[in-house]
Structure 1
Amino acid sequence: MNVNPFKTRYAVLYAFALFFIIASALLRITFIYISFGETLLTLASSAIILFKGLVFDFGVVLYFSILYSIYLLVLPQRFNRSGFNKVFSFAMVFLMILFASFSFFAEFTFWREFESRFNFIAVDYLVYTYEVVNNINESYPLPYLISAVAVISLFVLWLFIINKKFQDSFNSNSRFKYRLIHTVVFGLLVTVYILFIDNSWAERGRNRYQNELSKAGIYSFFSAFKNNELNYSQFYALLNDRDAFRIARKLIQEPGAEFTVLPESIKRNIKASGGEQLLPNVIMVVLESFSADFMGQFGNNTQLTPVLDSLADRSILFTNMYATGTRTVRGMEALSLAVPPTPGNSIVRRKNNKQLSTIGSIFRSKGYKTTFFYGGDGYFDNMNQYFGSNGFDIVDRGRKLTVGDNYTASRRTIQDKDVNFENAWGICDQDLYNTVIKDADGKFSKNQPFYDFVMTTSNHRPFTYPEGKVDIPSGSSREGAVKYTDYAIGEFLKLAKTKPWFNNTVFIFVADHCASSAGKNEIDVAKYHIPAMVYNLPRTVPSKLNQVCSQIDLYPTLFSFLNWSYQSNIYGKNILDSNYVQRAWVATYQKLGYMKNDSLVILSPKKKVESVFYDRSTNEQKEIKVSKTLVDEAISYYQTAYYLYSKGGLKE
């Protein structure tokens, strides 16, 4: 038996590895040429770049090869020369070459625009597929480029053929023991890469360009997908960290607040003005995809929300509240952490999101039991892991707790007997509210005050709900789902009013984000305007709070009504404070907006800063130049929020 790996069944696999490593090295040299003036190369740094680059390239080869390696292991020797194996191997290797060639082309265009390897922006492009494909099609002769990639891939395949790599593979007589050793070694090396070779290994130098050149694009892409974030310090406009915190602390300062840590922290003690502290139960209902303009209170004349419109007149109504983002997990982040959004995905879906100083932490410091309710499987979007790792008990409709769930919170599954209607996203809102009420009954019987975070699902495509509840057929339209959402709230409150705990319970109804907002690459401020109301608040009269504010301001304002003193590590403010200045944060995955009065500052990758005047009456945005002070405010908020998350400063 020939032990030369290029003459065994694995011949084509090793040929592909050689092709990939050579092509990737040439691409790395091309990037050095393009950005030579910024790399500040020395002999030592060049050696580090090439060595680290080879390590990452080898890792990509392993990931590419593992499945085909397993196939070569299990394929019996008698089938090695079969027609099936020949067709399968040609197709498999061609697809590997095609994917690699396409990734090299994509990396080249990405570097030309961002001078960076793939990062969360590239992951983000998967979310904005329509916009990105159109942009590429307008910027490049896409049919020709795709054809070129296919031709190059066929050419490489032809090189493999004329160099007899396929022939060597098909004619080999590699024993099972030999094949097993090869595949096991591949598997062990892949395990080593998964456990120990993190993309951050390439980010330890002081020169950003050298760090990026050390990486491999595909490796960076999956690292960004896994970590769900975009490094603010690398891609956005910056201030000195000390200056950023000095500005941010000044902006969040309010009467009765005393900072406890200096200087790169926002931890402070909030002291109430005096008087009795109120300790009602609090149930917050987060309404899925619920825009303010669904309600008659905000100008809708289609009578979709008679319950909420009536409730608004009997509540503390925030008339100008804005969501921080365009997805449920971003709304959860704002309502549980009260921090501005950081680039990339929500902290709910990221690593290192355990034991944070959440709104729930403040409730627990007052003796409350905190619970997260969800009508679907909370495994989705990492919700259970996030809430369970931050002190919340879990009540959801998902699978049972498994070994892979790395949180210790109590978890209960909503049983079939308690479900009357269910779709792909979860049980209907009425069934979820009934679960919340039963849980409240149990806690009340034990004299246990409670804070509930309730996430609904009925106002989500496919817009199905129990028949006969509203006059729009189930599954026919968003309007029907909105109307059912409103109806279910009415039924929820009717039942709650029969309970002995009702009079001492505050109900919050707030949206996670607006409808039809996900997938918008540009910031359309009107698509962030959400309803929020606090109902049944003790010793208060209904009123409208017209200040422009953010989701992150909801709880500081509530705590002011309750006259609470507490330790704060949040950015939100009491909007009733006489020194409050109207502002809000509105962001996509990449673009970070800071709106103050009628000015909107937008921070983007490549350290780009834009500013516009926002006319609320027409929803028009016109480019203007704003003061450096306002730009610095925007930067300080986002920069410090990212700093605190990445450095562990948001921990309890």
Structure 2
Amino acid sequence: MLFPKRHSLLKTFAITFLFFAILIRVCLYFFSIKLIDFSILNFIKIFAIGFFYDIGSLTYFLALYVVYLLIIPAKLHGSKLDKIITNFAYGLFLFVIIFSFLAEIPFWQEYQRRFNFIAVDYLLYTYEVVENIHQTFPIPLLIGVIFLILFLSIRYAKHKNAYNNTFQNSDSFKAKLIPSSIIITILILFHFNIKNTQAEVFDNVNENELAKSGLYSFFAAYKSNELNFKDFYQTIDSSENYTILRNKITAENDSLLSDSKDIIRFTRNNGKEQKPNVIFIGLESLNARFMPSFSNNENWAIAIDSLANKSIFFTNLFATGTRTIRGMEAITLAIPPTPGRSIVKRKSNHNLFTIGEIFKQKGYTRTFMYGGDGHFDNMTNYFSYNGFDIIDRKKSHRINTKLPTKRTRIEDNEVTFENAWAACDGDLYNKLLKYADQQHKTKQPFFNFVMTSSNHQPYTFPKGVINSDENTRENAIKYTDKTFKEFFEKAKTKPWFKNTVFVVMADHCCYSAGRTEINVENHHIPAYIFNLKNEKPRQIDKLSSQIDIFPTLFGYLNWSYENKLFGKDISKMSLEEERAFVGNHRKVGLLKPNKLLILDTQKQHTTYYWNKEKNKLTKTKTDSILLKETIAYYQSAYELFKNGGLKIASEK
């Protein structure tokens, strides 16, 4: 017999694990039925590949217990110590798998993905995650469901006499050796030879994700949060790489200041320099299609749209990624997204040449303002060690007294409503108004980077502000829109308003997953510059990226400055220069007016023809020039960050 009596509980656990793994895959499959290309063959392949990965994931749990079973002599079978260890381990492992399987459902509903690097990041922020779960699902009910399933699973094991058989036997070492060897061999082979990406055999990203195991995906993401570009992606010769890059990012009004592998240059803009205050407002998860200007029938963001039409409105601009910190990286560093985690969360991200350095050159104060605890996603450290003062809702146990810049707390008496993530947008805007009043008195121009949060799950907001109190995405956007309108109504009464320029842009879109590897439509975001002197409102339809907004603002202000930015002035772009950068954790792409080239791991790439009107991507032949251009952008971004090329010159 392959499994002796001593392994009865182990066998029962394996059956329970595989049952839940298959059940969750079935649930996720039906959740995604509208997003997949259904066929009987693909259905069979998804579940066959999925079962293979489930077996591999299972062995990680079994190996721990099978070693214990192997080394404990027969005379100790059923002893008090044996029962304590076995009962504890079985209950703990069951709890872990039940919790993780249940957690996959809301994670999938939010991201249409198995656990990935986002789940790894969230694990580090227990307070925010637990509070978010609590505000999305009733915690007592959730715990009750987990313990009910746990209870039923243990009852099933007892019904199969698994406990009695495990404790009441005299199986020898030899009898236990065969199953133990098989399990450990499978684990070793799986661990050292199988990669998560090998499950991706479908053209449809949702089918690829369904074929994976959530638990295995989690640990694969943990191991690969930083990807070595040269190990995983196609590269080109270093000298050719920088030749291409320098040619692509250098505008007519730029002068390169180095002939080495660097991008430092001097940007000259003619005319008298203007130095208004600048307030950047980052709109959490706001898709362009939520606005009437983009033919949206729901009209959720009316006030945001109304102001856009009184501004320099960039109607064809795309977010680089699918998370807030990816947007922050793009906006502050004006850099394409490097594979893996955002630079905001990486080591060696201090003293970088951000847009804040240019504001510093022009005599501005710089402040990052967020309604939550900036400890989350390393935002406080990133902004502070790059020269920004911090205003946030810091928790007392997370105060970093060694920060190089000033940190101010949004006090309890300044908060009328907050959820797991942050104080509501209305409270944040009120703090901004109060702080801007103080800044105005100093007579020094200020740059404030403000990040909102109310349009984020669990979509909670103060009651009575809009017509409905139901916690839905639609209502969260309507609340975001109303507080945005109220902020500008108040701001217009302030003495600093006439001399303040507002840059408004989303950090990324919601619903960032889709049918294809990268859903282009779900990177399309609103962006505009409001209250510029001597500039009439107009729409600019050039294809552009988040990384271009501040170089464009600096052009309108007639600033001349040294910089290391990849971004370009959109107002000066020619048709040939139009492009945008889009990516997720592993795949990065260069978007042209009718093409998208995606770089993927295993040194692969794919080129698509992009039909913008239908948001349809069709595979097409790769243009070698476009391929080299794409590689040059991303290879250079990776290299410059790793070798210190993005540091302030004196800090390299």
- Regarding TM over 0.5, the answer is yes
- Spell out, residue by residue over 1:166-223, the C-alpha distance to the aligned partner (whole angstroms, 9 max, x if none): 9xxxxxxxxxxxxxxxxxxxxxxxxxxxxxxxxxxxxxxxxxxxxxxxxxxx9x9979
2:284 and 2:451 in contact (8 A); partners too: yes
Structure 2 equivalent of residue 482 of structure 1: 477
Question: Which one-letter code corresponds to 1:646 in the other structure?
Answer: K
Kindly report which structure 2 residues correspond to 1:409-448, keeping only aligned pairs within 5 A, or say none. 409-448=405-444
Q: Which amino acid aligns with 1:343?
A: P
Match for residue 39 of structure 1?
Answer: none
Closer, same or farther: CA 161–296 of 1 in aligned 2, 3 Å: same
Aligned to 1:373: 369
1:431-470, aligned counterparts within 5 Å?
Answer: 431-470=427-466
- Which string of whole-angstrom CA distances, capped at 9 and with x for unpartnered residues, describes residues 506-529 of structure 1? 111100011111698720100000
User: Following the alignment from structure 1 to structure 2, what is the Cα–Cα distance between the partners of residues 158 and 389?
Assistant: 62
TM-score (normalizing by structure 2): 0.68
Q: Aligned with 1:533: secondary structure?
A: strand
Matched, 1:564 2:559: yes
Q: 1:614 to 1:425 in 2, by over 3 A?
A: same
The TM-score normalised by the length of structure 1 is 0.68
Superposed CA RMSD in Å reads 3.5
Question: Which aligned pairs between 1:100-499 and structure 2 lie closer than 5 A?
Answer: 124=117, 162-163=172-173, 225=222, 228-272=225-269, 274-400=270-396, 402=398, 407-471=403-467, 473-499=468-494
Q: CA shift at 1:235, angstroms?
A: 0.5
| Match of residue 207 from structure 1 | none
Displacement of 1:626 in angstroms is: 3.1
Q: CA separation in 1, counterparts of 2:461 and 2:356?
A: 31
- What secondary structure, in the 3-state scheme, does the structure 1 residue paired with 2:572 have? coil
1: CA distance between counterparts of 2:370 and 2:118? 29
Given candidates 595, 604, 619, the residue that maps to 1:608 is 604
1:492 alignment partner AA: F
| 2:617 is aligned with 1:621 | yes
Q: What's the CA shift for 1:342?
A: 0.6
- Are the aligned partners of 2:77 and 2:170 in contact in 1 as well (CA < 8 Å)? no
1:24-59 Cα offsets, whole Å, 9 max, x none, are xxxxxxxxxxxxxxxxxxxxxxxxxxxxxxxxxxxx
Picking from 81, 98, 101, the partner of 1:85 is 81
Structure 2 contact 284–455 (Cα < 8 Å) conserved: yes
- Residues 267 and 560 in structure 2, CA contact (< 8 A), matched pair in contact too: yes
Q: CA deviation at 1:500?
A: 0.6
For the Cα contact (< 8 Å) 1:385–1:406, is it kept in 2? Answer: no
The one-letter amino acid paired with 2:540 is L
Shift of 1:403: 6.8
CA distance in 2, matches of 1:523, 1:437: 38
CA distance, structure 2, for counterparts of residue 519 and residue 435 of structure 1 = 37
Report the CA distance between 1:308 and its aligned residue: 1.6
AA matched with 1:628? S
The one-letter code matched in structure 2 to 1:351 is K
> Taking structure 1 as reference, are residues 160 and 331 closer, same or farther at Cα in structure 2, changes over 3 Å only?
farther
Q: Answer whether contact 2:390 2:405 (CA < 8 A) is retained.
A: yes
Structure 2 residue 573 is the aligned partner of structure 1 residue 575: no
1:51 aligned partner? none
Distance 1:401 1:624 in 2: 54
Distance 1:94 1:158, change over 3 A: farther
- The 2-side partners of 1:460 and 1:247 are apart by 39
1:509 aligns with 2:504: yes
| 1:324-361 Cα distance to aligned partner (Å, 9 max, x none) | 00111111111111100010111111111111101111
Residue 544 of structure 2 corresponds to 549
CA displacement at 1:240 relative to structure 2: 0.8
Contact 1:395–1:412 (8 Å) recurs in 2:
yes
Alignment partners' CA distance in 2, 1:261 and 1:520 = 44
Unaligned runs of 5+ in 1: 1-59, 69-79, 99-120, 129-155, 167-217
Structure 1 residue identity aligned to 2:247: K
**Structure 1 counterpart of 2:409, one-letter code:** T
Letter in 1 for 2:415: V
Q: Distance in 2 between matches of 1:390 and 1:401?
A: 23
- 2:430 maps to a residue whose letter is N
Whole-angstrom distance in 2 between the partners of 1:347 and 1:257 = 26
Residue 133 (structure 2) aligns with: none
Could you tell me how far 1:423 is from its partner in structure 2? 1.3
Cα distance change of structure 1 residues 606 and 435 upon mapping to structure 2, 3 Å threshold: same
The one-letter code of the counterpart of 2:495 is: P
- Per the alignment, residue 198 of structure 2 pairs with none
The 2-side partners of 1:303 and 1:125 are apart by 30
Task: Verify the 8 A CA contact 1:279 1:562 in the aligned structure 2.
Answer: yes
| Shift in CA distance, 405/595, structure 1 to aligned 2, threshold 3 Å | farther
The SS at the match of 1:422 is coil
Alignment-mate amino acid for residue 234 of structure 1: D
Match of 2:29 in 1: none
Q: What residue identity is the alignment partner of 1:647? A: N
Shift of 1:586: 0.8
Structure 1 residues 352 and 226 mapped into 2: Cα distance closer, same or farther (>3 Å)? farther
1:93 positional shift: 7.3
> Which amino acid counterpart does residue 441 of structure 1 have in structure 2?
D
Alignment partner of 2:529 out of 525, 530, 534? 534
Give the Å deviation of 1:501: 0.5
Once the 2 structures are TM-superposed, how far is the Cα of residue 578 of structure 1 from its aligned partner? 5.0
Kindly provide the amino acid, as one letter, of the partner of residue 476 in structure 1.
N
Relative to structure 1, the CA distance from residue 629 to residue 402 in structure 2 (aligned partners, 3 Å threshold; closer, same or farther) is: same
Q: Deviations over 1:41-89 (max 9, x none)?
A: xxxxxxxxxxxxxxxxxxx9xxx99xx9xxxxxxxxxxx9996532233
Cα distance change of structure 1 residues 439 and 163 upon mapping to structure 2, 3 Å threshold: same
The one-letter amino acid of 2:474's match is E
1:101 matched to which residue of 2?
A: none
Provide the C-alpha distance between the structure 2 equivalents of 1:158 and 1:257, rounded to a whole number of angstroms.
81
% identity of equivalent residues = 44
Mark the CA change 1:159 to 1:636 in structure 2 (over 3 Å): closer, same or farther.
Answer: farther
2:636, 2:167 → 1: CA distance?
Answer: 50
Q: CA deviation at 1:225?
A: 3.3
Change beyond 3 A, Cα 1:96–1:418: closer
Residues 589 and 162 of structure 1: is their aligned pair in 2 closer, same or farther, counting only changes over 3 Å?
same
